[in-house]
Amino acid sequence: MEEMRTHGMQNVVLSTKSLADYASVVGDEVIAELRQLAKPLQGARVLHISSTAYGGGVAEMLHTLIPLMRDAGLEAEWRIISGTDDFFAVTKSMHNALQGMDLELPPAARAAYLHANVENAVYFEDEFDYVIVHDPQPAPLRMLRAGDKGRWIWRCHIDLTAANPTYWGFLRPFVQMYDAAIFTLPSYVKHDLEIGKVAIIPPAIDPLSPKNAPMTQEEAASIIQLYGVDPKRPMLVQVSRFDPWKDPLGVIDVYRAVKREYPAMQLVMVGSMAHDDPEGMEYFQRTKEHADADPDIHLLSNLDGVGNAEVNAFQRSATVVLQKSLREGFGLTVSEGLWKGKPVIGGNVGGIPLQIEEGKTGYLVETIEQCTDRVLDILRHPERAKALADRGHEHVRQNFLSTANLRNYLRLFNELAGRPVTEQVPATCAAR
């Protein structure tokens, strides 16, 4: 086995954010409520642990959540576990298996997984009041640090409803060592999980981040032209990792079917290559082969210089935003598209129906044919499409912004400290 790249965890350097800046989006009342919730938690030491600082929705949320925790008066940090390529290959398989893939869990894979966690646990320093461990990669840390004080929380960002029994059976003892677990939806909680507290917290987007901040159509057009995309022609846009669960091949099939009626149609697929996803490049190649050198299919990633501002530009320029997932923990790109006032079509799976109310804030689909029909419906009825998009934007404003995410964490911390919070508004509500 190769050597660890680094010993122990690395601290993530974070920008500064201010809750006051969000008042213009969610209202002063919401900010005041957050300050009130944070009062008993002043100076609390909080540590988030995850496997990567970029690529994917988890890292994106933490880049906002943790600075907002700091602004609310908590001493919050973020650390990244270290590991070999073997370790990240195992955890990618684990992610897929926990979402339902039929995979083996050989002894060598278990060994690589446990070895990396032992290395990270040995070099774990400092004491914290709250430790939030994100997803399966660092899950054994609590068992390995059983003597540490503080309250430990496991945050599961994936859909466990069809979890491979072998993998879940392997993971469950580690999870049950925690004081609490957070899931995106109640249906994701396994019935055999014995744990002190379960919290349901949906993910959220940052309306002020470069990915979601206001941008004019002219600014967006000038950015997407740099990538050979024509801003004057209609386009379908899907922003996702190149991953079988995101069905990039199916998205290309939808585009081809739509293009028969709308020959000017373009397809833009933007993915992020993260170091904890070794499968990404392989599936990018499969997608590229399926695209068959079509000049109107644009496959882009961070390796092409596509970052948050560029994603913002593509989503704002889209005629229709797609998230045609076959499995999905939540799918933050759905809220991103809705926030930008775009008609969004998503797979009828996981957390997507939480964001899209069928026929009201967007469309839910299960097949390539359904998706094609919905895209054509949007193209043929622009007024109906605009009404969908407007309702979708408001739904996100009320439920899926960073302020709601912070609020839910503050509530959980208070409850774990024996200070139950009187319910004032729904737990997922960010604005009234």
44-82 burial, b at 16+ Cβ within 10 Å, e below that, comes to bebbbbbbbbbbbbbbbbbbbbbbbbbbbebebbbbbbb
Confidence label for 428 from pLDDT (cuts 50, 70 and 90): very low
CA–CA distance, 199 with 155 (Å, rounded to integer):
9
Whether 10-204+401-416 and 217-399 share one fold: the answer is yes
Indicate the domain borders of the chain: 10-204+401-416, 217-399
Q: Which CATH architecture has domain 217-399?
A: 3-Layer(aba) Sandwich (3.40)
369-407 pLDDT, tens digit per residue, is: 999 999 999 999 999 999 999 999 999 998 999 999 999
Asked whether 189 and 171 are in contact (CB, 8 A), the reply is no
CA–CA distance, 267 with 229 (Å, rounded to integer):
9
- The mean pLDDT value for 294-320 works out to 95
Q: What angle do CA 170, 173, 179 make, to 5 degrees?
A: 140
Asked whether 195 and 180 are in contact (CB, 8 A), the reply is yes
Annotation: CATH topology of 10-204+401-416: Rossmann fold (3.40.50)
Task: Reply yes or no on whether the pLDDT at 5 is more than 60.
Answer: no
pLDDT computed for residue 7 by the predictor: 62
pTM of the model: 0.84
Asked whether 364 and 356 are in contact (CB, 8 A), the reply is yes
